[in-house]
Protein backbone atom coordinates (compact mmCIF):
# COMPACT_ATOMS: atom_id res chain seq x y z
CA UNK A 1 0.00 0.00 0.00
CA UNK A 2 2.51 2.62 -1.01
CA UNK A 3 0.52 5.44 -2.49
CA UNK A 4 3.15 7.84 -1.38
CA UNK A 5 5.98 8.25 -3.87
CA UNK A 6 8.99 6.69 -2.25
CA UNK A 7 11.15 9.76 -2.93
CA UNK A 8 9.24 11.67 -0.29
CA UNK A 9 9.93 9.04 2.39
CA UNK A 10 13.31 9.38 4.07
CA UNK A 11 15.31 6.24 3.32
CA UNK A 12 15.63 4.71 6.74
CA UNK A 13 12.98 5.39 9.30
CA UNK A 14 14.16 2.54 11.47
CA UNK A 15 15.29 4.66 14.36
CA UNK A 16 12.90 7.48 13.88
CA UNK A 17 9.36 6.64 14.77
CA UNK A 18 9.23 9.08 17.54
CA UNK A 19 11.19 6.78 19.79
CA UNK A 20 13.43 9.56 20.92
CA UNK A 21 10.34 10.19 22.99
CA UNK A 22 11.33 7.03 24.87
CA UNK A 23 15.04 7.49 25.60
CA UNK A 24 15.28 4.35 27.70
CA UNK A 25 14.31 2.33 24.59
CA UNK A 26 17.74 3.15 23.20
CA UNK A 27 19.39 1.76 26.27
CA UNK A 28 20.03 5.16 27.75
CA UNK A 29 19.07 6.13 31.23
CA UNK A 30 18.20 9.76 30.84
CA UNK A 31 19.81 11.95 33.41
CA UNK A 32 17.31 13.58 35.71
CA UNK A 33 16.72 17.18 34.67
CA UNK A 34 18.18 19.82 36.98
CA UNK A 35 14.75 20.70 38.32
CA UNK A 36 14.00 17.07 39.09
CA UNK A 37 17.23 16.91 41.06
CA UNK A 38 16.39 20.14 42.83
CA UNK A 39 12.84 19.17 43.65
CA UNK A 40 13.04 15.47 44.33
CA UNK A 41 16.63 14.31 44.48
CA UNK A 42 17.94 11.55 42.23
CA UNK A 43 16.16 8.72 44.06
CA UNK A 44 12.83 9.97 42.77
CA UNK A 45 12.96 8.02 39.52
CA UNK A 46 13.17 4.71 41.37
CA UNK A 47 10.19 5.59 43.51
CA UNK A 48 8.30 6.58 40.36
CA UNK A 49 9.08 3.25 38.75
CA UNK A 50 7.87 1.31 41.76
CA UNK A 51 4.64 3.31 41.90
CA UNK A 52 4.13 2.81 38.18
CA UNK A 53 4.70 -0.94 38.40
CA UNK A 54 2.26 -1.15 41.30
CA UNK A 55 -0.34 0.73 39.28
CA UNK A 56 0.17 -1.58 36.31
CA UNK A 57 -0.26 -4.61 38.56
CA UNK A 58 -3.36 -3.07 40.12
CA UNK A 59 -4.96 -2.54 36.69
CA UNK A 60 -4.28 -6.13 35.66
CA UNK A 61 -6.00 -7.30 38.85
CA UNK A 62 -8.89 -4.85 38.89
CA UNK A 63 -9.66 -3.08 35.64
CA UNK A 64 -12.38 -4.86 33.66
CA UNK A 65 -11.09 -3.40 30.38
CA UNK A 66 -7.48 -4.37 31.02
CA UNK A 67 -8.64 -7.85 32.01
CA UNK A 68 -10.78 -8.07 28.88
CA UNK A 69 -7.87 -7.06 26.68
CA UNK A 70 -5.66 -9.54 28.50
CA UNK A 71 -8.14 -12.35 27.76
CA UNK A 72 -8.49 -11.26 24.15
CA UNK A 73 -4.73 -11.27 23.65
CA UNK A 74 -4.42 -14.64 25.33
CA UNK A 75 -7.18 -16.13 23.17
CA UNK A 76 -5.38 -14.78 20.11
CA UNK A 77 -2.16 -16.53 21.10
CA UNK A 78 -0.43 -13.43 22.45
CA UNK A 79 -0.57 -13.82 26.18
CA UNK A 80 0.93 -10.96 28.15
CA UNK A 81 3.69 -11.59 30.64
CA UNK A 82 3.83 -8.50 32.81
CA UNK A 83 7.59 -8.59 33.23
CA UNK A 84 8.30 -9.26 29.57
CA UNK A 85 5.71 -7.06 27.85
CA UNK A 86 5.13 -4.04 30.04
CA UNK A 87 7.83 -1.57 30.96
CA UNK A 88 7.61 1.46 33.19
CA UNK A 89 10.10 4.00 31.90
CA UNK A 90 11.08 7.63 31.97
CA UNK A 91 9.83 9.35 28.82
CA UNK A 92 9.71 12.71 27.20
CA UNK A 93 6.89 14.55 28.96
CA UNK A 94 5.08 14.96 25.62
CA UNK A 95 3.97 11.33 25.77
CA UNK A 96 2.31 9.20 28.42
CA UNK A 97 2.82 5.77 26.92
CA UNK A 98 3.60 3.84 23.79
CA UNK A 99 3.74 0.50 22.03
CA UNK A 100 7.08 -0.65 20.69
CA UNK A 101 6.39 -3.11 17.86
CA UNK A 102 10.06 -4.10 17.63
CA UNK A 103 9.97 -5.69 21.06
CA UNK A 104 6.21 -6.18 21.31
CA UNK A 105 6.32 -4.11 24.48
CA UNK A 106 4.09 -1.54 26.07
CA UNK A 107 5.79 1.46 27.61
CA UNK A 108 4.08 3.22 30.51
CA UNK A 109 5.68 6.59 31.17
CA UNK A 110 6.28 6.57 34.90
CA UNK A 111 7.04 10.28 35.04
CA UNK A 112 3.81 11.26 33.28
CA UNK A 113 1.23 8.59 34.12
CA UNK A 114 1.10 8.85 37.86
CA UNK A 115 -2.44 7.73 38.64
CA UNK A 116 -4.15 4.36 38.33
CA UNK A 117 -6.73 5.91 36.02
CA UNK A 118 -4.11 7.19 33.65
CA UNK A 119 -2.20 3.93 33.69
CA UNK A 120 -5.42 2.07 32.89
CA UNK A 121 -6.11 4.36 29.92
CA UNK A 122 -2.59 3.83 28.57
CA UNK A 123 -2.69 0.07 29.07
CA UNK A 124 -5.99 -0.35 27.22
CA UNK A 125 -4.94 1.95 24.38
CA UNK A 126 -1.60 0.21 23.89
CA UNK A 127 -3.10 -3.25 24.34
CA UNK A 128 -5.36 -2.48 21.39
CA UNK A 129 -2.23 -1.84 19.31
CA UNK A 130 -0.77 -5.06 20.66
CA UNK A 131 -3.98 -6.91 19.79
CA UNK A 132 -3.90 -5.52 16.25
CA UNK A 133 -0.26 -6.51 15.91
CA UNK A 134 -1.14 -9.99 17.14
CA UNK A 135 -4.25 -10.43 15.03
CA UNK A 136 -2.96 -8.99 11.78
CA UNK A 137 0.43 -8.69 10.26
CA UNK A 138 0.43 -5.07 11.25
CA UNK A 139 3.13 -2.91 9.76
CA UNK A 140 3.43 0.17 11.95
CA UNK A 141 5.52 1.90 9.32
CA UNK A 142 2.62 1.73 6.89
CA UNK A 143 0.59 4.87 7.49
CA UNK A 144 -2.65 3.08 6.63
CA UNK A 145 -2.03 0.47 9.30
CA UNK A 146 -0.88 3.03 11.84
CA UNK A 147 -3.91 5.25 11.21
CA UNK A 148 -6.23 2.26 11.52
CA UNK A 149 -4.93 1.03 14.84
CA UNK A 150 -4.92 4.58 16.27
CA UNK A 151 -8.54 5.05 15.14
CA UNK A 152 -9.46 1.80 16.86
CA UNK A 153 -7.67 2.70 20.08
CA UNK A 154 -9.32 6.14 20.24
CA UNK A 155 -12.68 4.73 19.26
CA UNK A 156 -12.80 1.95 21.80
CA UNK A 157 -11.64 3.97 24.76
CA UNK A 158 -11.06 7.69 24.72
CA UNK A 159 -13.93 9.49 23.13
CA UNK A 160 -16.91 9.71 25.37
CA UNK A 161 -20.49 9.83 24.18
CA UNK A 162 -21.46 11.40 27.48
CA UNK A 163 -19.28 14.47 27.07
CA UNK A 164 -20.86 15.04 23.67
CA UNK A 165 -24.29 14.79 25.21
CA UNK A 166 -23.66 17.52 27.74
CA UNK A 167 -22.69 19.93 25.01
CA UNK A 168 -26.26 20.92 24.28
CA UNK A 169 -27.64 19.44 21.14
CA UNK A 170 -28.19 15.84 22.08
CA UNK A 171 -29.70 14.53 18.88
CA UNK A 172 -28.33 11.08 18.30
CA UNK A 173 -27.06 11.91 14.86
CA UNK A 174 -25.12 14.86 16.18
CA UNK A 175 -23.62 12.86 19.02
CA UNK A 176 -22.52 10.22 16.56
CA UNK A 177 -20.89 12.87 14.45
CA UNK A 178 -19.13 14.41 17.43
CA UNK A 179 -17.88 11.04 18.54
CA UNK A 180 -16.46 10.35 15.10
CA UNK A 181 -14.80 13.79 15.11
CA UNK A 182 -13.28 13.11 18.51
CA UNK A 183 -11.86 9.80 17.29
CA UNK A 184 -10.42 11.48 14.20
CA UNK A 185 -8.73 14.19 16.26
CA UNK A 186 -7.34 11.77 18.78
CA UNK A 187 -6.03 9.48 16.03
CA UNK A 188 -4.52 12.45 14.24
CA UNK A 189 -2.63 13.48 17.37
CA UNK A 190 -1.33 9.93 17.85
CA UNK A 191 -0.24 9.48 14.24
CA UNK A 192 1.56 12.82 14.25
CA UNK A 193 3.31 12.03 17.52
CA UNK A 194 4.76 8.84 16.09
CA UNK A 195 5.46 10.19 12.60
CA UNK A 196 6.85 13.70 12.78
CA UNK A 197 7.82 13.35 9.11
CA UNK A 198 4.17 13.26 8.02
CA UNK A 199 2.25 16.50 7.50
CA UNK A 200 -1.12 17.10 9.10
CA UNK A 201 -2.78 17.01 5.66
CA UNK A 202 -1.18 13.68 4.76
CA UNK A 203 -2.16 12.19 8.11
CA UNK A 204 -5.75 13.43 7.77
CA UNK A 205 -6.04 12.04 4.25
CA UNK A 206 -4.95 8.58 5.41
CA UNK A 207 -7.24 8.71 8.44
CA UNK A 208 -10.21 9.64 6.22
CA UNK A 209 -9.38 6.86 3.80
CA UNK A 210 -9.39 4.06 6.38
CA UNK A 211 -11.84 5.66 8.82
CA UNK A 212 -15.11 3.81 8.23
CA UNK A 213 -13.55 0.38 8.10
CA UNK A 214 -11.50 0.87 11.26
CA UNK A 215 -14.11 2.87 13.17
CA UNK A 216 -16.62 0.07 12.75
CA UNK A 217 -14.19 -2.64 13.81
CA UNK A 218 -14.99 -2.98 17.52
CA UNK A 219 -13.08 -6.14 18.33
CA UNK A 220 -12.28 -7.18 20.99
CA UNK A 221 -14.26 -4.82 23.22
CA UNK A 222 -17.45 -5.05 21.21
CA UNK A 223 -18.69 -1.57 22.05
CA UNK A 224 -17.56 2.02 22.30
CA UNK A 225 -17.02 2.50 26.01
CA UNK A 226 -18.59 5.57 27.56
CA UNK A 227 -16.92 7.20 30.47
CA UNK A 228 -18.53 6.68 33.91
CA UNK A 229 -20.90 4.13 32.51
CA UNK A 230 -21.45 0.41 33.08
CA UNK A 231 -20.03 -0.24 29.60
CA UNK A 232 -16.71 -1.43 30.97
CA UNK A 233 -18.33 -4.08 33.14
CA UNK A 234 -20.74 -5.02 30.37
CA UNK A 235 -17.96 -5.49 27.87
CA UNK A 236 -16.04 -7.59 30.37
CA UNK A 237 -19.06 -9.74 31.24
CA UNK A 238 -19.78 -10.38 27.57
CA UNK A 239 -16.25 -11.42 26.74
CA UNK A 240 -17.41 -15.02 26.47
CA UNK A 241 -19.44 -14.08 23.40
CA UNK A 242 -16.21 -13.38 21.59
CA UNK A 243 -14.47 -16.45 22.86
CA UNK A 244 -12.15 -14.53 25.18
CA UNK A 245 -12.51 -16.42 28.42
Catalytic residues: 126
Instruction: Find the shortest distance in angstroms from Cβ 186 to Zn ion.
Output: 9
Q: Output 45 or 68, the one with its CB closest to Zn ion.
A: 68
Site for Zn ion in 161-220 (CB under 5 A): 190
Give residue number: closest CB to Zn ion: 190
72 and 244 Cβ atoms separated by less than 8 Å: yes
Q: Output 100 or 150, the one with its CB closest to Zn ion.
A: 150
Instruction: Find the shortest distance in angstroms from Cβ 150 to Zn ion.
Output: 5
* 111 lies in the binding site for Zn ion (CB under 5 A): no
* 155 lies in the binding site for Zn ion (CB under 5 A): no
- DSSP for the chain reads ---S-GGGS-S--TT-SSGGGSGGGGT--PPPPHHHHHHH-TTHHHHHHHHHHHHHHHHHHH-HHHHHHHHHHHHTT----HHHHEEEE---TT-SEEEETTTTEEEEETTT--SHHHHHHHHHHHHHHHHHHHHS---TTSHHHHHHHHHHHIIIII--HHHHHTTS---HHHHHHHHHHHHHHHHHHHHHHH-TTS-HHHHHHHHHHHHHHHHT--TTT-SPPPTTSTHHHHHHHTGGGGT--
Instruction: Find the shortest distance in angstroms from Cβ 19 to Zn ion.
Output: 14
Piece in contact with Zn ion (CB under 5 A), picked from 38-46, 153-161, 216-224, 228-236: 153-161
Q: Output 152 or 179, the one with its CB closest to Zn ion.
A: 152
Instruction: Find the shortest distance in angstroms from Cβ 153 to Zn ion.
Output: 5
Number of residues forming the site for Zn ion (CB under 5 A): 3
Q: Output 45 or 86, the one with its CB closest to Zn ion.
A: 86
Binding site for Zn ion (CB under 5 A): 150, 153, 190
Amino acid sequence: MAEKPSESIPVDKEDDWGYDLYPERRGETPRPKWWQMALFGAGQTNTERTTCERNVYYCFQNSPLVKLMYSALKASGCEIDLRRHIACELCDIKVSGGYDPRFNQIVVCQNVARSKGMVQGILVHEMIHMFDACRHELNFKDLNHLACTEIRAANLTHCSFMSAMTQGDASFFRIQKQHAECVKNKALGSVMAVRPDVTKEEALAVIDKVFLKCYNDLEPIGRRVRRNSPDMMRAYNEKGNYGYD
